[in-house]
């Protein structure tokens, strides 16, 4: 069985005495084992990053950017290989893996613009013969902790820009599907990244806690569930680090009576069931305005769900693959059972699905609930699976009150032909990312990604312009060169332009 280690100082390292299986979700078989880094191994990675920082910090920004440009080309050339690795360990269909990779490449491309993004401000003669300017300086060693659902894209939210800004980096990917992330780092070395600038350690809580408490790590980026995000934020901040921790979500899609129902339903199908619902920007809830709207949406969803094809992500024509692990499968099925027990109407039951040739895979068919209410756990909790619930309300304001009252505020959308309603919704809803007739309003690489409320802990969002601010610190320099031979009197006030 293949053993997956770590990448430290440009070399493959077999660190740690513990390991765990990496499964193929389509077959349910353990095909690899990943080593779990202990404290010593993580400290070795941090030391490598710290040693590489002085030279990398002083490397011209344009040279750093050219490495990102080289990496973009390599990622495009190795797309099939990377997508196969994602699908083999995550389970998502190959087309979805390619979409993830393309979004990651966009972030690498944005990082190649770092020389422009790092330009500061300059003002001449802010006082008599006094000039002032600001510049953005690297922090030092930064770290990222990334989730299983996007093993290429989310790491690309973090380290490419951090490195382009002059930092060095230690990445701890998910131990559930580590191979594509490790291959990404190997390609970065091939693109010209010096050893030690990017290090990858696979591990669990021991590795995370080492990164959170080691004083050499100056900043931590995290994407995952809200309870862990809270822990990361509190622990990292208590250790004096800069932290951004993106947590969970429960995204609502509002369907107005005037909406184009066929188009809305097509959009909702992909948003709810794409990647088996394992997305923080998935749509697990539809809020229909009026019973007539709800009836039309449920009827159309039922028809479209009946057309879906389930199977291994490598099979042609498959719409949805398996869930990532047996444990996660059991958790999602538990929510479906609970929804039935709490009184929601299970319109489509995806439990008990078996795929020929993949009988031991973690397959759960698409599930559709109607008559979901706010008191139900399937409304309150992030399920992270192919479970869509429909709620019925009487007005747009009632729908907005529901959304605003929820603890999460990651994403939302509205389907309507009414510009006034859309404008009111986008202006007033208490959610960080909002779509109008767009179910997954995920910002492109040159905008920033982040939710509100308990979906984000920290002041700055991920990637885009906010990433430059997160991975740098501003320094302002004010200087004056007095004329030679001119002796001036003592001044006891602040210098000014008067």
Helix 291-306, helix 261-273: angle, nearest 10: 60
CA pair distance 431, 51, nearest whole angstrom: 41
Of 187, 206, 168, 194, the C-alpha closest to 20 is: 206
User: Contact 7/22 with Cβ under 8 angstroms?
Assistant: no
Q: Which of 440, 444, 391, 413 is nearest to 275 (CA)?
A: 440
**Gap between the Cα atoms of 145 and 16, Å rounded:** 18
SS3 letters across 241-266: CEEEEECCCCCEEEECCCCCHHHHHH
Q: Are strands 11-13 and 18-24 parallel, antiparallel or unpaired?
A: unpaired
Strands (E), 300-458: 345-348, 367-370, 387-393, 408-409, 411-415, 433-436, 452-453, 456-457
User: In angstroms, what CA-CA distances link 265 with 17, 284, 285, 286, 373?
Assistant: 50, 13, 13, 10, 21
Closest CA to 12 of 24, 26, 20, 2: 2
Structure tokens at 23: 């499964």
Which residues fall within 8 angstroms of residue 117, CB to CB, at 6 or more apart?
A: 465, 468
Residue 172 burial (CB count, 10 A): 28
Distances (CA, A) of 435 to 73, 267, 397: 31, 12, 17
Nearest to 246 by CA among 469, 412, 462, 405: 462
CB 304 within 8 A of CB 266: yes
Q: Which of 83, 165, 280, 413 is catalytic?
A: 280
For the chain, what is the radius of gyration of the CA atoms?
25
Residue 276 is among the residues annotated as catalytic for this protein = no
CB atoms within 10 A of CB 103: 19
Token readout for 188 is: 């970065």
Name beta bridge partners: 411. 433
Q: Do β-strands 472-480 and 456-457 pair in parallel, antiparallel, or remain unpaired?
A: unpaired
In whole angstroms, what is the distance from residue 470 CA to residue 463 CA? 9
Question: Using CA atoms, how far apart are residues 404 and 152, in angstroms rounded to an integer?
Answer: 32
Identify which of 439, 381, 378, 377 has the alpha carbon closest to the alpha carbon of residue 411. 439
Residues identified as active-site? 280
């Amino acid at each position: 069985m293949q053993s997956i280690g770590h990448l430290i100082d440009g070399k493959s390292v077999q660190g740690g005495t513990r390991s765990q299986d990496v499964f193929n979700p389509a077959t349910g078989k353990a095909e690899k084992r990943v080593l779990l880094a202990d404290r010593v191994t993580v400290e070795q990675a941090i030391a490598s990053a710290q040693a590489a920082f002085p030279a990398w910090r002083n490397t011209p920004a344009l040279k750093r950017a050219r490495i990102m440009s080289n990496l973009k080309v390599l990622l495009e050339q190795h797309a099939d290989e990377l997508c196969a690795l994602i699908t083999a360990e995550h389970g998502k269909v190959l087309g979805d893996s390619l979409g993830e990779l393309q979004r990651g490449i966009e972030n690498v491309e944005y990082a190649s613009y770092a020389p422009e993004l790092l330009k500061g401000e300059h003002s001449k003669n802010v006082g008599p013969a006094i000039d002032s300017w600001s510049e953005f300086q690297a922090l030092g060693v930064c770290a990222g902790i990334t989730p299983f659902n996007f093993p290429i894209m989310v790491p690309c939210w973090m380290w490419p820009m951090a490195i382009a800004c002059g930092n060095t980096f230690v990445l701890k990917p998910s131990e559930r599907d580590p191979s594509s992330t490790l291959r990404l780092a190997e390609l970065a070395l091939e693109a010209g990244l010096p050893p030690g600038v990017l290090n990858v350690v696979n591990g669990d809580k021991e590795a995370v806690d080492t990164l959170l408490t080691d004083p050499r790590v100056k900043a931590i980026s995290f994407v995952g569930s809200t309870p862990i995000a809270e822990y990361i934020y509190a622990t990292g901040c208590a250790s004096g680090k800069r932290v951004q921790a993106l947590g969970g979500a429960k995204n609502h899609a509002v369907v107005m009576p005037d909406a184009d129902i066929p188009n809305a339903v097509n959009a909702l199908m992909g948003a709810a069931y794409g990647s088996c619902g394992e997305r923080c920007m998935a749509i697990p809830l539809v809020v229909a305005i009026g019973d007539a709207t709800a009836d039309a949406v449920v009827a159309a969803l039922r028809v479209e769900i009946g057309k879906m094809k389930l199977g291994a992500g490598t099979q042609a024509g498959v719409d949805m693959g398996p869930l990532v692990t047996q444990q996660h499968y059991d958790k999602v099925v538990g929510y479906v059972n609970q929804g039935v027990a709490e009184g929601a109407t299970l319109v489509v039951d995806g439990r008990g699905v078996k795929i020929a040739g993949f009988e031991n895979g973690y397959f759960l068919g698409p599930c559709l609930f109607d008559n979901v209410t706010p008191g139900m756990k399937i409304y309150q909790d992030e399920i992270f699976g192919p479970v869509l619930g429909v709620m019925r309300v009487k007005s747009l304001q009632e729908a907005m009150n529901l959304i605003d009252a929820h603890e999460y505020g990651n994403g939302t959308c509205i389907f309507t032909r009414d510009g006034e309603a859309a404008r009111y919704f986008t202006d007033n809803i208490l959610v960080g990312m909002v779509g109008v007739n767009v179910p997954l309003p995920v910002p492109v690489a040159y905008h920033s990604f982040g939710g509100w409320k308990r979906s984000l802990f920290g002041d700055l969002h991920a990637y885009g312009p906010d990433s430059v601010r997160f991975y740098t610190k501003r320094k302002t320099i004010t200087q004056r060169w007095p004329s030679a031979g001119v002796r001036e009197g003592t001044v006891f006030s602040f210098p000014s332009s008067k």
